[in-house]
Amino acid sequence: MVEGGFTKLLRKKLFFHLAQKYQPLGSSEPKEEEETHEECELKIIEQEKEVAVLAPKDACKCHKEDLAKALNVDLQTGLSECSVLQRRLKHGWNEFSVENTEPIWKKYLDQFKNPLILLLLASALVSVITKEYEDAASITMAVLIVVTVAFIQEYRSEKSLEELNKLVPPECNCLREGKLQHLLARDLVPGDIIYLSVGDRVPADLRLIEVTDLLVDESSFTGEAEPCNKTDSVLMEAGDITTLSNVVFMGTLVRYGKGKGVVIGTGENSQFGEVFKMMQAEETPKTPLQKSMDRLGKQLTLFSFGIIGLIMLIGWLQGKHLLGMFTIGVSLAVAAIPEGLPIVVTVTLVLGVLRMAKKRVIVKKLPIVETLGCCNVICSDKTGTLTANEMTVTRLVTSDGFQAEVSGVGYNGEGNVYLLPSKEILKEFSNVSVGKLVEAGCVVNNAIIRKNSVMGQPTEGALIALAMKMELADIKDTYVRNKEIPFSSEQKWMAVKCTLKNQDQDDIYFMKGAFEEVIQYCSLYNSGGISLSLTPQQKAFYQQEEKRMGSSGLRVLALASGPELGKLTFLGLVGIIDPPRAGVREAVQVLLDSGVSVKMITGDALETAMAIGQNIGLCNGKLKAMSGEELDQLAEAELSSTVKNVSIFFRTSPKHKLKIIKALQRAGAIVSMTGDGVNDAVALKSADIGIAMGQAGTDVSKEAANMILVDDDFSTVMNAIEEGKGIFYNIKNFVRFQLSTSISALSLITLSTVLNLPNPLNAMQILWINIIMDGPPAQSLGVEPVDKDTIKQPPRRITDTILSKSLILKIFMSAVIIISGTLFVFWKENPKGGINPRTTTMTFTCFVFFDLFNALTCRSQTKLILEIGFFRNRMFLYSVLGSFLGQLAVIYIPPLQKIFQTENLGVLDLLFLTVLASSVFIVSEFVKLCEKHCCQPKHTKGCHN
C-alpha cells in the first residue's frame, strides 16, 4: 500500500523533530543524514508493528526470551535509534504531563463566584449608583485583596501534580546499539536496556534480567521498611506489587548490588503513573470553613433581600415614592453585609499560618489550618511517620541467658546497652557473652555507616550501630575476610569466613540469619566465653525467646560463630525494630483524649504493626486490625461502618489507603492523612487534610499534601489542631461582634423609617460606625492568641456552622441591649423642638461606646475577660484605644465637628455614656458565668469516631 505524500511529509517532520530533541548526554557528533535520517524514515514506514507496554504482573511471568520477543529487543545490544524514535511516536516521553484545561485568568475570575463576593460587588455597584464613591472604592479594594489572596493560594496548591515530574530521575545508564550510553531518563522507551547500581533511582518500570545481590528500597512506594531482595528468575504467579521480586518500579532507590533490566513501562504507563492518574481523578474537597462561609453568604443574601422587601412594602403602604424606598432598602441591605468578614477570615488564617511556621509546620492552603479544628480521624502511615524508618536493635538475649535492652535510635551510635535487670551499662567485653554476640553481628556485615546514614542494608546498619554503642565498631578491622556466603531468601542466612590479622590461627566462621536456620548449624552454645554442648532444653529455651521477641513486633536475628559450618557455637538473639518517633506516644494520647481517633495504615505484617500500635498507645491498647485483603472483600456500605472501629490496617496498598479514607468520609468523618512516600500521595490529596513529612518525605508527598511537618515530628500535629480550633473561635468572635453591630445599626434606621421618626444618626456618623465595625477593633478580634485549653475541646462537627443557635442568641442579646440603650439616650436627649447637634452627638457617641464594650466581651465566647487576660491581645487594646481617641477627636476637633455635625460633650456626659454602654459587657460576662456553672462541657474520648 502506497502512503500519501502528506503522511510521508508528516512522518519526516516528526522524525526530524524527535531526532533534534533527543541527544545522548555528552554526544556532540552529528549523524550522517544519508545513513540515519533516510534509512530510519524507510524503516519507520516499513515497520508498522507497535510494541505495547507490559504490565508488571505479566512481565514477571515471562522468560527472558519471551520478554525480548514481546518487546522486540536484542538483550545483548539494546534498541536501535530508529526503534527508539518509532516507539516514542507511540508512547511519548518518559514523563508526566499535566493538562492545564483552564487559563489563569479564568481561574482568577472563578474566585468571584463566592456568594459573599458577589454580594459585596453588588453593594459596591449600588454605592456607585447612589454616588457613595468612597464606600464603593473601599468595598472593591477589599474584594480584590480577598480574591487575589485566595487565587494565589489555590494556584500554588494545584502545582502538586506537576511535582510528580521531579521524581523522574534525570539521568540513567542505557544500552543502545551495543553501546552503554548516559541518557536523560525522559528519553527512555519500552524495550530499552537499563543498568542499575547502588544509589540509582530507577528511571522506569523494569523487568530484571540480570541481578547481583540487588536490594531496592521501595519504602516510599509500598510502605515496607526493609529493602526488597530482587531476583531475575521467572515467577510462576503474580501477587500484589510487593511480591514481584523480578520487577523494579520507577522512583524507587537501589540500596545495594547491581542489576540489568528491560523497560516495560514509562511515564503514565508505569506503576507510578497509576498513582499519577489516581491523583488526577481526585478533587480536593472543600474545607468546613469554606462550607460555613458559603452558608453564611446565602443567609446574609436572604436577610438582605428580606430587608429590601420589607422596607419597600412599608414605604409603598405609606404612600412613599417607590424608587426612594428601593434606595433606602438597598442601602440597609448593604449595611447588613459585614464587608470585613472575608478580610478578617483571611487575616486570621494568615496569622495562624505564620504561627504554625514558627512551630515548624508549613501550611500550603489557608483554610486547611481551620479544618484541623474539626478533624476527628487521623490516618497515619507507619513507616517514616509514626516510626523513624531507621532499623534499630532494641533487645539482646545471649546464649547463656543474659538479657539486655538498647537505647537510642538511628545510625549515629548514640545510646547505651543496659544489662537487665541491673541496668548496668555495657561497653566492649565487660560482659563476655554480650560482647561476643555484638562482635559477630559487626563482623558478618557488609554495611557502612557514614555521616549518620547507612550504606547497605538497614538491618546490617542496625548491627553496626549496636557495635558503636558498645565501642566495638572497629573490631571488624581486626579480621581478614576470606570468603562470604551471601544471604538468600531460600537459605535465610549469611556467613563469612575470617582470620584474625597478624595471628597464625585457624579460620573462624561468623553466621547470622533466621533462628530456625542458624540453630541447625550449631552444636555448641556460648556460656561466659566457654563453648558447651547444645542440649534440647537449650534449643527449646532459645525457641521460646525467639517467639516472645517476634510476638512483640521485633525482627529476630540469630548469631553464631565457630571453626566450621555444622560445628558453630550459638551466641544469642538480636531483636530489631523500626522504632516509634520520639514524642509520638504522648501526641497520640493527647489526640485520643481530645476526641481524635488515630489509625495506623502500613504495608507491614500484622505482628509488627500490632507491636508498634501498642507501643504508641493506639486506642489505649484496645486494638482491632484489618488487612488489605479483608478490605477488598467488604462491600462499600459495610466498609464505612467497619473502618470506624479499626485502629490498624496492615498489608495495604495505595488503593487501600484511598478506600479507607473514602469510607471514613462517607461515615461523616473529617480525615487527616499523614505520610511521607509516593504510595501516600493519592491518600494525602484525597483526605480533608494531607500532612507530609518534610525531611523523610518524597517530593510528591509534600506537594500532594496541604501541610508539611518540617522536622517530621508527628506531635506538631497537635499544635496544628490547636491552631485550627483557635482560629474558628476567633472567627466566631468577630462574626458575633460585627453582626450584633450591624443589626443594631439596621434596627435604629429601620425603626426610624417605619415609625416615620427623624433619623438618630446622619450619613457620616453611620460611615464612622461602619469603620469601627469593619476596622481595627474588629480585625484585632481575629488575632486573639489561642487559649491553652483549646486542644482539650472535642472536634467540631462538620454540620456545625459559624452562626450556631447559641451564637445567634448572643448576637441578638447584645443587639437588644445596644438598641435599647441608644434609643433611651435618643429619647432622653430629644427636645420637643426637634433634633439638634447635641442629640445626634449623644446618640452617636453612645452607640460607639456600646460598640467598644461589645468588642471587649466578644474576645471569648466562653471565658471571662479576667480568665483570658486583659492585656494578652495588645493589638486589640491599641485598636480600642485608637477608636476611643478617634471618637473624642470627632466630638471635640472643630473641623471634624462640621463634617460629623457634632458638638462638645461634658465630662459627666461621657461618664454617663460609659456607664450605660458598659451594660452590654456586664450582661455578656454574667451570661458566660452562668453557662460555665450550669452547662458543663461534654468530654468525649475518641477511639471510634
Catalytic annotation, residues = 381
Of 615, 577, 588, residue with least CA distance to 410: 577
Which residue blocks in 285-405 are alpha helix, DSSP H?
288-317, 322-336, 340-358, 367-371
Alpha helices in 168-321 (DSSP H): 219-222, 271-281, 288-317
Question: Which residue type sits at 598?
Answer: V
Query: How many Cα atoms within 13 Å fall on the side-chain side of residue 673?
Result: 30
With H, G, I as helix, E, B as strand and everything else as coil, classify residue 337: coil
Q: What's the CA angle centered on 182, arms 180 and 188, to 5 degrees?
A: 90
Q: Which string of b and e fits 799-816 if b means at least 16 CB within 10 Å?
A: eebbbeeebeebbeebbb
Scan for cell 505484617, then name that residue: 605
Strand partners, 818: none
Q: How many helices (H) and strands (E) does the chain have?
A: 34, 28
Task: Please tell me the distance from the alpha carbon of residue 323 to that of residue 166, in angstroms, as a whole number.
Answer: 62
Q: How far is 424 from 434, CA to CA, in rounded Å?
A: 12
- CA–CA gap between residue 163 and residue 120 (Å, rounded): 36
**What cell does 538 get?**
537449650
Q: Which amino acid is at 738?
A: Q
**Helix 322-336 with 288-317: angle, nearest 10 deg:** 150
Task: List the grid coordinates of 200.
Answer: 540509582
- Provide the 8-state DSSP code for 870: T
Q: CA 690, CA 282: separation in Å to the nearest integer?
A: 13
Give the torsion through C-alpha atoms of 680, 686, 690, 696, to 10 deg.
Answer: 10
How far is the C-alpha of 292 from the C-alpha of 136, rounded, in Å? 26
Phi, psi of 881, deg, nearest 5: -60, -45
Long-range Cβ contacts of 906-914 (<8 Å, 24+ apart): 909/842, 910/845, 913/825, 913/842, 913/845, 913/846, 913/849, 914/849
Alpha-carbon gap, residue 69 to 360, rounded angstroms: 54
Give the cell for residue 261.
Answer: 533490566
Helix, strand, coil shares of the chain as percentages rounded to 5? 55, 15, 30
Q: Are 208 and 195 in contact (CB under 8 A)?
A: no
Exposure string for 512-537, b = 16+ CB within 10 A, e = fewer: bbebeebbebbebbbbeeebeebeee
Alpha-carbon 857 to chain mean position: 36
What is the DSSP pairing of strand 171-176 with strand 193-196?
antiparallel
What does each C-alpha distance from 254 to 229, 288, 382 come to in angstroms? 10, 43, 22
Cell numbers for 777, please give them.
477593633
| Cell numbers describing residue 76 | 545483548
Identify the H or E element spanning 527: strand 522-527
